[in-house]
Structure 1
Amino acid sequence: MKVTKQEYSEMTKQASHNTKSYFTIPMAFLIGGLICVLGQALIFLYQYWGMSTEKASSLASITLVLLSALATGFGIYDKLAKHAGAGTLVPITGFANAVVSPALEFKSEGLILGLGAKLFIIAGPVIVYGVAASILYGVIYWVFSII
């Protein structure tokens, strides 16, 4: 089937949906902002409980990753992203979602070949390597600190 440029242009117009930027841009701003506000609230909460700013910030990051991974696992993150668009790409929650989503998609293939292998898709290599390296470094540090 040979398609002319005009026919292709017409087919593209019919298949494409118009973006409602008057709605999507404010929603991305609102949801992204609320995620950031949640992170700041967690920092304040952890500081209120007596932690230093550095520890509270680290724990808030860990909490956001955990909440994002759980929300992805329960299907909440996808529903939120449908309305918020780029607002859910706030780096820390977006990375957690990017790691968990492919793993959940292939969990039926088993823990090693499905779930474990798919953790390395998209942002997974960076995060998994970082976590594994930090655990290894912690073990080495611990071994040398008790000697």
Structure 2
Amino acid sequence: MQKQQYKKMTKQMSPKPPIIRNVVVAFVVGGLICVFGQFVQNILLTHFNFTPETVGAPTVAVLIFIASLLTGLGVYDRIGQFAGAGSAVPVTGFANAMTSAALEHRSEGLVLGVGGNMFKLAGSVIVFGVVAAFFIALIKTLWGMM
């Protein structure tokens, strides 16, 4: 009986999260990160002679570099505290997670500290990416045979 009373009291005393504010801020910050990515892509298209087919990889590389740099400087963490899920835009959020893991474990050495802990995080992403790509390719192949 005490656990139920404790849960009830905790629920009553806990502050209500500002859900609408959090959603709006996440949407705006995530959108601004994407707008910045489009800006980078437009610069690369106009000034560096990339084509629409070849501009994707360098754009992603620039976003990863900037997110990693901001993480190293401690700025991306502040953006994440403010924006919540809005800062977890896949490319920049993943770069932030990888760089944070590297910085956190650098005292343990390059191989076992930085490398080992970075790839603990990246391993699951790589596995799910490869499995998803396999199934998409399988579906696309089977669809083409019909």
The equivalent of 2:21 in structure 1 is 23
Alignment of structure 1 residues 58-137 onto 2, 5 Å: 58-122=57-121, 124-125=122-123, 126=125
Which of 15, 34, 42 aligns to 1:36? It is: 34
TM-score, length basis structure 1: 0.76
% same residue: 38
Partners in 2 of 1:17 and 1:82 — Cα distance? 18
TM-score, length basis structure 2: 0.76
Gaps of 5+ in 1: 131-147
Question: After TM superposition, where is structure 1 displaced by more than 6 Å over at least 4 residues in a row?
Answer: none
Deviations 1:46-88 (A, max 9, x none): 0101211122221111101111111111111110011111111
**Kept after mapping to 2: 8 A contact 1:43/1:53:** no
Matched length: 125
**Kept after mapping to 2: 8 A contact 1:99/1:121:** no
Alignment root-mean-square deviation, CA: 1.9
Partners in 2 of 1:41 and 1:65 — Cα distance? 15
Q: Structure 1 residues 30 and 107, CA, compared in 2 at 3 Å: closer, same or farther?
A: same
